[in-house]
Each structure stands twice: as structure tokens, then as C-alpha cells.
Structure 1
């Protein structure tokens, strides 16, 4: 089921525009869900798993179904997380801020590292701040891969604290080819409260 947003489609203006948010949520995300559900009809053992659990069990999915589950359940998991990590008006503080300063030297340095990873990622994918073994790191994944899938599948691992969608469908209506402008706008809509709760949870 498509998760409802806790805010209106225009709540992130002027940084993330209403039209993009509506299409991104109601069309792109819904398609990932539909494709996942259709595939899981033939895989009942996986059908009732929470999507984040499902993508951590891809090594158990039959080979002929693995890529479609990887791409579509991955898209569902990534977007479900993405909507929660967006909100205007929150402030980075507390334990998460301290950990970022510890592992990157400063918040500004962290933002530079994150922006560079997002700007230089070739093609579609995601950039993440992850926590692994109590250390924070910036990583990227291709297509709809998630660090939760593990290094053998996604090329990296860790528990996502922040994530930024860098598929063109996430920004092209407003920013066209100006991916860096979109990336920089992200800092205005990060839900630092949600990020902090994920950091503490792990």
C-alpha cells in the first residue's frame, strides 16, 4: 500500500515543487508497489514481510524473480523512507550532530562530501548517510538499491540515516539538468528529527 504523506504535496515549496512531489509519490512510487505486489503473488513466503525486511532477504528470492524484486521492492523501500526524511523547519542537533562532527570534522564538511557523492554519481541512484559499526559514512547506490541489501548486492551496507533520490524524476520538472541545485536544496527540507531518531534507534 502506498504510504500516505504526513504533509501536503506543496509543503516543501519552493525547494521541492508540488507537481514533482505529486507525480513522484502517486505515480512513480505507486508503480514500484504495484510491480512488487504482482511479483509476490508467486512468492507467498515473502508476501507479508515488511518491505525493509524483504530487501534484506534478496539472496533467498528465486533467481528468476530477484531483479524485479530488487528494483521494485527497493524502490518501494527507498521512497517510503525518503518521504519520512523530508520536512521543513527542523534543526540538526544533539547526538546526530555530534556524530557528524566526529566522523566528518564538521557539519559543513559532511555536506560537501554528501553533495559531491550525489553530484558525481553517474546515472540514476541514491546517496545515503549510513551508520555502520557506530560510524557514519556517505555512500551511494545505483538504481533502486539500498544499503540494507548488503554489500554483496548493493556494493555497500549500513543503516540509512539520510537518503537523497537522484533519479531525474525526483527533480527534472523544477531543476532540469541542474542536479547540484536540487542537491543543495535538500538541506532546506531534511527532517533532522527523523534522522536523529533513526540514528539513536540503531
Structure 2
């Protein structure tokens, strides 16, 4: 059993594209974060990661005809998912090169898990009742490949798809667009250090 830590950078694309585009003029953007986990033998892993997406926009009102009216109130939207992932690394026994050292081999992996996503929407000039801060349960699947540079240091690239059902849609912009899921696809690159 070995522990590992990692930093991550990536790009998030959200399922609720119309709702977020109305407020932020975009439904995607960069994410940053980190985490840690455990390797059990060569194959089984358990990771915990936290990432953060933040963007600025403006509060809006959508008319019955679908016209988006900018209310002129700057707003900041922040989403911070925490994911617990359990997965399998498809790696066999190491093969030695001509010098007797293990050969460099990419390691594919796949998994899934659950988590919690915090959603915050704040405006400097709005009343506190207009701001929101909520947490919602989530679940996800992921797959990718690790590139081990040494016994301790490596890099991984993966795609994680997250579902956050019933997080929005009870009113406002998301109700008009009939969007309820705040999940989506996250493409990530992680720098791994294994102890």
C-alpha cells in the first residue's frame, strides 16, 4: 500500500450550457485543484480530489419569449466539486530493459465514484438573500492513462464525467431552460507524486 498526492489542472464543460451561458457568457472554463489517495498493490486505487471553477457574469432575467435581459448586477459563480474515485490500473509485472531497469510503459486506468459539489453565486450589490451557497451529491466515471517517469513521479491525463442531478431548475434561468444537472465533462492533467 502506497500513498500519493497530486496537483491538477484541466478544463470543465457543463451540462447546463444554456443556463450558464445566459449568466456567464460561457458554459466551460479552466479548473485547478489537487488531492491524494492510496495505491493498493499495483492495480487498485482510491483517490480524493478537489477542483475549482470560477467565472464572472451578470444576473439576468429571461422573458417568456426567451429574451435574456441583463440586470446590470455583476455576479460571481464558483463551483467546487470533491470527488472520491475508486478504480483499477491496468498494469502487469514490470518488464526490464537492456540495462536492467524497468521499461517506461503507459498505464491505462478506469474507475468511478461519488462526491459533493458546492455551488456559490454571489453579487457585490445584491442583498444576502439573493446570494446562494448550496451543496449537492454527485457521481462520476473516469478513464485515462498514467505516464510514470520514475518510481515516485508521474503524469496522468484523464476524462471525468460527473452528474450532479437536481442541483438547479427549481426557478429562475435554469427553470426556463429546463436544466437540472450541474455536472459535465472535465478533462484533467495531474502531476503525481507517490511515496
- TM score, norm. by length of structure 2: 0.23
Bigger CA radius of gyration: 2
More helix by percentage: 1
More strand per residue: 1 or 2?
2
